[in-house]
Amino acid sequence: MSTSGEALLRAVEAPLFWIGALTAAWVSVCSVYRLLSGLRVWVLGNGRLVSPARLGRWAVVTGATDGIGKAYAEELARRGFAIVLISRTQEKLDEVSKSIESKCGVETKTIAVDFSAGNIYPKIEDGLSGLEIGVLVNNVGISYSYPEFFLNIPNLDSFIDTMVNINITSVCQMTRLVLPRMVERKKGAILNISSASGMYPVPLLTVYSASKAFVDYFSRGLEAEYKSKGIIIQSVLPFFVATKLSKIRRATLDKPSPERYVAAEINTVGLQSQTNGYLPHAIMGWVTTALLPTRILRSVVMGMGLSQRARYLKKQKQG
């Protein structure tokens, strides 16, 4: 090696050493921070925060008669909240209401409305009048009957209106009704149930995926606006849960029952403004957003959608 080359190597040796040392230190600090944060969220949790004493006497749950919504209503009732159940069918509301009152000994109230309609919010506002609402769970939602290309969706015009009214308008309007009193009292929590389908585009479920992405962005924007006013606003992005909506009958580790999912998710309130709510789902969210390249993820999701679509259409022909 020439004298000039050796001199150049000596000149850059020290800066390169320090750059490498600082990079290694930064990666180590970030890794330790993530580990401690993970332990704080998934091991210790924050379950004591969600209580009537800390947030307010009443909890309001939309889509409260099945699946995740019913599980939230039952879990919040076990924690001592009086529950407002909002859903479409009065018979189902009465059934869930009686069950909660007998098991948990709390007061309940029901409001029967169809969230696909646009003129329901004066009725809901009247039903919520005078209540000290500590928790709002915006859970009501609708998905596709089966994966389908946008232009091939049956009754596309009405499908769009229904999807927007239920998945988007309901979240905005319910928040409009409940948030002002929370701000006055400087306490309260709003949990907006989005979906892992809102974390990235899901072809063949495009309208659903986009509507859930709206819920996520709406929640994160509101969280930035109202965090300083004492309000907790959380975007909840579950992967598959064993519910009627997902058409999954048997619960597994990665596809938990609604009760198991909700019990885990409530422990993240106040710790994560955007959460998958359940440790296996958090791992899945990290893999799909941080490790998989976008092009590969889109290809995999498209392939899964095409396979599900083919099975559904074949079954329809056979039926």
Active site residues: 208
- Residue type present at position 4: S
Q: Is the dihedral of CA 308, 311, 315, 317 positive or negative?
A: positive
Q: Give the whole-angstrom CA distance, residue 54 versus residue 50.
A: 7
Alpha helical stretches, state H, the chain: 3-39, 52-55, 67-78, 90-104, 121-128, 156-164, 170-185, 206-226, 258-266, 279-286, 294-318
By three-state DSSP, how is residue 89 classified? coil
Using alpha carbons, select from 188, 199, 291, 287 the residue that is nearest to residue 238. 199
| 8 Å CB contact between 76 and 83 | yes
CB atoms near residue 313 (< 10 Å): 12
How many CA atoms, within 13 angstroms, populate the side-chain half-sphere of residue 132?
11
> Residue for token digits 């990079």?
23
CA dihedral (147, 287, 142, 133) in degrees, to 10, reads 180
State the DSSP code for 152.
G
